[in-house]
Amino acid sequence: MAIDSYKWLPGSFANYYRGLPLQKAEPLPWTPLVKPLEECCFSLVTTAGLYVKDKQPPFDLDGERQNPFWGDPTYRTIPRDVKQGEIGVAHFHINTADLEADVNIVLPVHRFLELEAAGEIGSLAPSHYSVMGYQAYPPNTDEWENHYGPEMAARMKEEGVDAVLLTPV
Amino acid sequence: MPVLARVIEAVGISTVTVTMMPDLAERVGVPRIIGLEFPFGHTLGHAGDREEQTKVIRDALRVLRDARQPNAVEHLPYEWPDFERWKREWHPSEPAPIIAFLIEQRRRARAAE
């Protein structure tokens, strides 16, 4: 069974993505999971444009409005004890109403706390991460690759993270 | 997002990516991919549906545990009801600036023909 990756897009956008000449990154990095899930420490990453209200600035949507060809490449750290009411969302490219009601559809901190309590995973790390998925047109993820990504990865290592769930939106 | 998965995997952390566009992820190269036909902004399921979200997460954990080579892909068969409604509803209430720009550019090009 193969799913349709372009099912939700209007026809012209579906054709754009189908026809994009893409080069596969080779060789792909590979880290086998060497521990049972029940012993692994997890961190979560999403592209949903989440931030913690009153503690962090939103992603720079004014900048994107002024220059539609640019997207804010920074990231926000979301703590494991974040409450739904503290979650803010800054993302022009999706309807954010449902994730303002339930962050777990894109950053499942509360589901992972349940799995931790049930012993299905070892632990949920203190820190989780959100970027805002629109990275310029044509797409340019150099800042993620060379700056912010390595910074997030280093903080994960410091927190003893073994495995990461990524959920683009 | 593919680049973040690769950067994290490269420092010695195993990653699994759940996406509604697994074809793109596979073509650019992502260590472990779960594909499913959920609308944009709803990667793990419906808001408030704890059972559905947990089901997808457990599938992701299984692939994380069992995948044996890079660019491993598994597609999940879960269906999202009300396609016609959600095809409209995942969109923001007003188009993103770049989308508005591209639509206007296309409109002008057509008008000039």
Please state, in angstroms and rounded to a whole number, the distance separating the CA atoms of residues A130 and B4. 11
From first to last of its 169 residues, chain A has per-residue pLDDT tens of 799 999 999 888 899 889 988 999 999 999 999 999 999 999 999 999 999 999 999 999 999 999 999 999 999 999 999 999 999 999 999 999 999 999 999 999 999 999 999 999 999 999 999 999 999 999 999 999 999 999 999 999 999 999 999 999 9
Q: What is the mean pLDDT of residues B11-15?
A: 98
Going through A53-91 in order, the beta strands assigned E by DSSP cover 75-79, 87-89
DSSP string, B27-40: HH--SEEEE--PPT
Inter-residue contact A149 to A166 (CB < 8 Å):
no
Domain positions in chain B = 2-81
Reported ipTM: the value is 0.97
Within 8 A by CB and 6+ apart from A83, the residues are none
pLDDT band at B25 (very low <50, low <70, confident <90, very high): very high
From the list B14, B35, B77, which residue is nearest A163 (CB)? B14
B100 contact residues in A (CB cutoff 8 A)? 68
Name the token pair of A8. 């939700």
A28 contact residues in B (CB cutoff 8 A)? 6, 9, 29-31, 70-71
Q: What is the pLDDT of residues B33-50, one digit of tens each?
A: 999 999 999 999 999 999
Look at residue A46 in the predicted model and tell me its pLDDT: 98
Q: How many CB pairs under 8 A join A and B?
A: 225
Look at residue A71 in the predicted model and tell me its pLDDT: 98
Q: Residue A28 gets which letter from DSSP? A: P
> B10: nearest CA in chain A?
A29
- Tell me how far CA of residue B93 lies from CA of A54, A169, B39, B96, B105, in angstroms: 25, 17, 15, 9, 20
Inter-residue contact A40 to A121 (CB < 8 Å):
yes
Name the token pair of B109. 């090009």
Look at residue B12 in the predicted model and tell me its pLDDT: 98
Look at residue A11 in the predicted model and tell me its pLDDT: 87
B3 contact residues in A (CB cutoff 8 A)? 25, 141, 144-145, 149
Look at residue A101 in the predicted model and tell me its pLDDT: 97
Please state, in angstroms and rounded to a whole number, the distance separating the CA atoms of residues B53 and B46. 7
Residue A104 has phi, psi (to 5 degrees) of -65, -15
What is the DSSP pairing of strand B72-75 with strand B32-35? parallel
CA of A55 to nearest chain B CA: how many angstroms apart? Answer: 24
Does the predicted TM-score (pTM) go above 0.80? yes
Considering only residues 25 to 64 of chain A, which have any Cβ-Cβ distance to chain B shorter than 8 Å?
25-33, 36-37, 45-48, 64
B36 contact residues in A (CB cutoff 8 A)? 3
Within 8 A by CB and 6+ apart from B36, the residues are A3, B18, B19, B20, B56, B75, B76, B78
Look at residue A45 in the predicted model and tell me its pLDDT: 98
> B76: nearest CA in chain A?
A3
Look at residue B107 in the predicted model and tell me its pLDDT: 92
- Give the CA dihedral A59, B28, A99, B39, nearest 10 degrees: 140
Closest by CA position to A58, among listed A92, A97, A102, A109: A92
Q: Using the beta-carbon criterion (under 8 Å), do B21 and A131 form an inter-chain contact?
A: no
